Chain A
Amino acid sequence: MTTKTIAQATTIQEMIIQADHLTRCFGRGDAEVRAVDDVSLTIKRGEMVLIMGPSGSGKTTLLSMLGALLSPTSGEIVIDGTNISTMKEAALAALRAQKIGFVFQSFNLLEALSVEENILFPARLSAAGVPGARGRLDELLEKLGLIARRKALPSTLSGGEKQRVAIARALINQPPIILADEPTGNLDSHKGQEVMMILHDIARDDDCAVLMVTHDPRVEEIADRVLWLEDGALRDRKSEQHSWVIDPVCGMRVDEWTASVMTEYNDKKFSFCSGRCLNRFEAQPERYLDETKHRVQD
């Protein structure tokens, strides 16, 4: 084997996700929309990659295809050396169970199950089953600070706790890929920061590829790469496309261009770092407008 071939083999081995000319269309004829248009990308083990872009740019569609939840109209996806483009639904489900952990914006915990039952839920699909995952469960509960809450039901958890449970559930089968869709979207800035650092540590310590769709500009600082998606295609992001505004609730800097949590009040547009801040604002808008004025005066 030549030196070049060995280098190529190593690179292929490191590649956990490979997408080639990925396109996804919805509708037909004049109503056809290209949600994702000819996207090619590769993601390595241990890499934390962000997919950013304006609302409606196709980020979630791309994430769904890479997560084997949605089949592409054309193009190929290779996950950990397996081409999934032509796989049947049953095989895709098995692949998701083994290779991919999901973290969602709205947590998506099963309400009737306790924290540890939720975490163990996907373990039923692993070769070792639930008994084999008990050790991993304790490890994750410890690592994510959930030991005291292991018997609690989701309805009694805070947003941050729910997201940590969701992360533990994503990790229970030790998948090589974590796909996260706006994981900080429903959390305040402090809890959001905490979740981001957990995901960062997972990529670094567990050699997991973490692919995250987010509007949160703070994550850029800890990510290895940022992919900018616009009109369904990957593009270079121009710096002038940042339009920084202040979240009127927590005072955090938010990119108005990419923010998905927005509202209008008194004919004025407001952007927020999270749904939680939006909810607070909508409950008492005048209070936060006053605070914003004071903040500007200061």
Chain B
Amino acid sequence: MLYWSLKTLLSEPMRLIVSALAVAVSFILVIFFSAVFEGESEQMVAYLEEMEADVWVMQKGVSNMHMSSSMVWDWKADKVAELPGVREVAALLYFNGPVKIGGRDWFSYVIGISPEYSRAGPWALARGKSMPDPGEVVIAEVIAKLTGVGIGDEITLVDRRLKIVGLSKETFSMSSAVVFVSREDLGDLLEGRDQYSYIMVYAEPGVEARALAERIEQEVDKVNALTSDAFIHSDRQLAVQMGAEIIRMMTIIGTLLATLIVAFTAYSLIARKQRELAIARALGFGSGQIYLAALYQSVMITLLGLLLALLISFTLLSWLPTIAPQLNLAIRLHQFVPLALLALPLAILASLGAARTVARVDPMAVFHS
């Protein structure tokens, strides 16, 4: 019966391809949302990763950058710098909020940087200069492309107009872009000219980051010191918590859609082949064997759909950002694991409708001409 089900599927290649494509579309939907989520999550911690600090120091009680605010006195940066095991520090002022660019509000990480801590600035520049002076700003190149603004144009940060002097790369995500201003401007805005938000600490060679973080917390009052790994993990977790529900919902919808398509295809195939199933039953095949044939067809359609989804996803998702630069898409192998694991139960579930039909197959139908 398995051979028959394979041959029956292959005898109608167009129907098979259309069914598999329909399944693939629903899988692609799941993969696409997962890729967007993964890309956005990665982009949200891109700044933290690119800074390559060993330890991040922040206000006591704070453990994130995303959706957080932190204030530490500027002298604490000097104090941290003097601790044994510290090779270098870089401090930044930070504000999390909307920036009006090209007539539209962009939710942004606004980083206030000063020349003495220039490594807190943009790590990849497309055009212009990387260190903004007072009254200047460096924005993400993608925003400039999307809004049509460029170097020399102005943006609005809360109540002040800033002139674009640089365009940075790899600093855009749909949920938050990174905008660089002078520490002076941001300090005025936040009324924190003598404060920083985060202090990045670079350890001497051979100094372990965790031990250094503990030492900083012991030596400097009212600060929280996290290793870079812990800080990035904490921010990533926050992003996952925020997006996980949506992604889970989309995965459920996509999977349900795929199940319905496979079920409909398997059912219609079985319904159209009722007579052949009656022949098989008359010749001595049992209901179990016939059901297995239906299940096999469901599995084939599902796996073919999954394969097509993977091929199309890899092709489409690697090409999509070239026409839609605002999309941060990340395709990782682990994203396909849930789909691959879902495929078999999905096929079994989808074949249940066909099983009902199989159980009703009347072998006496072979006598009808």
A99 CB to closest chain B CB, in angstroms? 9
Counting CB contacts under 8 A, is A248 at the interface?
Answer: no
Q: Mark A94-133, 1 if CB is under 8 A from B, else 0.
A: 1111100010111010111100010001101100000000
Cβ–Cβ contact A125 & B285, under 8 A: yes
Q: Looking at the assembled complex, report how far the CB atom of A155 sits from the nearest CB atom of chain B, in whole angstroms.
A: 10
Interface string of B275-317 (1 = CB under 8 A from A): 1100111111111000000000000000000000000000000
| Contact call A96/B284, Cβ cutoff below 8 A | yes
B8 within 8 A of A: yes
The answer to whether A112 touches B283 (Cβ under 8 A) is: no
Whether a CB of chain A sits under 8 angstroms from the CB of B322 is no
Q: Which residues of B contact A186 (CB under 8 A)?
A: 369
Task: Say yes or no: B283 contacts A102, CB within 8 Å.
Answer: yes
Residue A70 at the chain B interface, CB threshold 8 Å: yes
Looking at the complex, which one of B10, B281, B283 makes contact with A121 (CB distance below 8 Å)?
B283
A93 and B11 contacting across the interface, CB-CB below 8 Å: no
When distances are taken between beta carbons in the complex, the residues of chain B under 8 Å from A113 are 4, 7
In the bound complex, CA of A169 to CA of B282 (Å): 12
Q: How large is the interface on A (under 10, 10 to 19, 20 to 34, 35 or more residues)?
A: 20 to 34
Cβ-defined contact, A122 with B7, below 8 A: no
Q: Nearest-CB distance from A89 to chain B (Å)?
A: 7
Bound-state CA distance A89–B287 (Å) is 9
Write the nearest CB–CB distance from A35 to chain B, whole angstroms.
12
Residue A160, interface by CB 8 Å: no
Which A residues are in CB contact (< 8 Å) with B284?
93-98, 122, 125
B246 in the interface, Cβ–Cβ < 8 Å? no
B276–A111 contact, CB under 8 A? yes
**In the complex, what distance in Å separates the CA atom of A90 from the CA atom of B4?**
20
Q: Does B327 contact A (CB under 8 A)?
A: no
Is A58 part of the binding interface, using a Cβ–Cβ cutoff of 8 Å? Answer: no
Partner of A110, one of B4, B10, B367: B4
Q: Are B285 and A93 neighbours in the complex by a CB distance under 8 Å?
A: yes
The answer to whether B283 and A60 have CB atoms under 8 Å apart is: no
Tell me, in angstroms, the Cα distance from A44 to B276 when the chains sit together: 31
Find chain A residues with CB under 8 A from B279 CB. 108, 110
Query: Is B366 at the interface (CB under 8 A from chain A)?
Result: yes
- A90, A98, A102, A169: the one contacting B366 at CB < 8 Å is A102
Q: In whole angstroms, how far apart are the Cα atoms of A117 and B276 in the complex?
A: 14
- Is A289 in the interface zone, CB < 8 Å from B? no
Question: Are A90's CB and B369's CB within 8 A?
Answer: no
CA gap between A181 and B279 in the complex, in Å = 14
Say yes or no: A125 contacts B4, CB within 8 Å. Answer: no
Which residues, 51 to 91 on A, are CB-close (under 8 Å) to B?
A: 60, 64, 67, 69-70, 89-90
> Does chain A have a CB within 8 A of B67?
no
B11:A106 contact, CB within 8 angstroms: no
Q: List, sorted by A's number, 28 A–B pairs whose CB atoms are closer than 8 Å.
A: A64-B364, A64-B367, A70-B364, A89-B286, A89-B287, A93-B281, A93-B285, A93-B286, A94-B284, A96-B284, A97-B283, A97-B284, A102-B366, A104-B366, A105-B367, A108-B275, A108-B282, A110-B4, A110-B8, A112-B4, A112-B10, A112-B11, A121-B4, A121-B280, A122-B283, A122-B284, A124-B3, A181-B367
Q: A69-B363, A93-B285 are in contact. List 6 more A-B contacts (CB 8 A).
A: A69-B364, A90-B286, A96-B284, A102-B282, A106-B368, A112-B11
The chain B residues found within 8 Å of chain A, CB to CB, are 1, 3-4, 7-8, 10-11, 275-276, 279-287, 363-364, 366-369
Residues of A within 8 A of B (CB): 60, 64, 67, 69-70, 89-90, 93-98, 102, 104-106, 108, 110-113, 117, 121-122, 124-125, 169, 181-182, 185-186, 275
